[in-house]
Amino acid sequence: MKKFLVLCLSLLTVFGLVGCNTDAGGKDDDQLTIGISLPSATHGWMGALIDSAEKQAKALKESEGIDYVMTNAADPNKQANDVDDLIAQGVDVIVMLPIESAALSPVGQKVKDAGIPLVIVDRELENDAATVVVKGDNEGIGVNAGKYFVEKLNGKGKVVEITGPPSSVTEQRGAGFKEAMEAADGIEVVASQSGDFSTEKSLEVMQNILQANPQIDAVFTQDDGMALGVLQAIKEAGRTDIKFVTGAGGGKAVFENIKEDGLISATFLYSPTMVEDAVKIAADLAKGNDPAETMVVKEATQVTKENVDDHYDADSKF
């Protein structure tokens, strides 16, 4: 009986140690794992980015055996909880696209304090928690759009701006647009409202703006999906005063409107495939390598009727 009790106690000790190891790490200590925290696919660009992230993560798993955990959130609180869970699981690196810059900055700091490398995509945090930032040239989009407006309107006109939600992307695109248009005293921004990077919300917002403003010459939207919502509102209202609309992103539907000489006359590239670079960088960081760069910025190429065929892909999901 005494030997039996000793055996039972030994087994309990072994199982207890196994349980502790599992709870503490949440994974095999020898298994490298990338945690990926992204918003939900509320619009085409984000849906394409999520697809690109998973595609790249799967490729790394197959080629290098690096595992990944992906989460999606519809609001900042859920995303913060998702990142807390990734920290608790003991992932080796985290890739995050913050839903809102300010709201997600504290959880970004938690990642840094936990000693986990953090790769931020698209929307920057308001602190220095990121190890690497991968983004498009948001200020460049705004500046290029502003210059385009000044040229197309000959420095005079009434303009509407449809912005995104509170984030570095929205701020930088808006600041670049205003900076470029300061050269033209004759251009007035008669309305500036958020469309939340949503086609549906932008349609609703633009309907109200059209009712309040009998004369509008052009509309600058900070996102291609929002440009499509604005376009629908203008068509439904039967307005003929608006000369052109611009977007940002490089979506297929916008390219097609440009090709067909539609009301959308220009957009500025901001490819969702940037997240593939972020996941590759995360894999290197997980291996303990130092980043080659701490800021990776993709060019904001202007796309108009003249060069749209160079960028249009009929098979694109976005």
Question: Would you say residue 4 has pLDDT above 50?
Answer: no
Residue 247 structure tokens: 């977007």
- Residue pair 46/228 in contact (Cβ under 8 Å)? The answer is no
The domains located in the chain, with CATH, are 24-136+272-298 (3.40.50.2300), 138-271+304-311 (3.40.50.2300)
Residue 254 is given by DSSP the state: H
Q: How far is CA 131 from CA 41, 128, 218, in A?
A: 25, 8, 39
Q: By three-state DSSP, how is residue 240 classified?
A: coil
> Does the pLDDT of residue 193 top 50, yes or no?
yes
Contact criterion met (CB below 8 Å) for 237 and 231: no
Please give the Cα distance from 117 to 92 (Å, whole number): 7
In 104-225, which ranges are E strands?
118-121, 132-136, 156-163, 186-194, 218-221
Is the Cβ–Cβ distance between 258 and 267 less than 8 Å?
A: yes
pTM attached to this predicted model: 0.73
Share of the chain above pLDDT 70, in %: 91
pLDDT mean across residues, the chain = 90
Beta bridge partners, 244, equal 218
Sheet holding 156-163, edge to edge: 186-194, 156-163, 218-221, 244-246, 264-268, 302-303
Which distant-in-sequence residues (6+ apart) come within 8 Å of 9 by Cβ?
none
What pairing do the DSSP bridges indicate for beta strands 118-121 and 295-298?
A: unpaired
For the chain, report the end-to-end CA distance as a whole number of angstroms.
70
Query: Of 244, 253, 242, 231, nearest to 308 (Cα)?
Result: 253
Q: Which neighbouring-strand residues pair with 118?
A: 94
Query: With contact defined as beta carbons under 8 Å apart, do 170 and 222 qualify?
Result: yes
Res 42: pLDDT? 74
Specify the range with the lowest mean pLDDT, choosing from 12-21, 149-158, 248-257, 294-303. Answer: 12-21
The predicted pLDDT at position 41 comes to 87
- Could you tell me the sign of the dihedral formed by the alpha carbons of 177, 293, 78, 276, in that order? positive
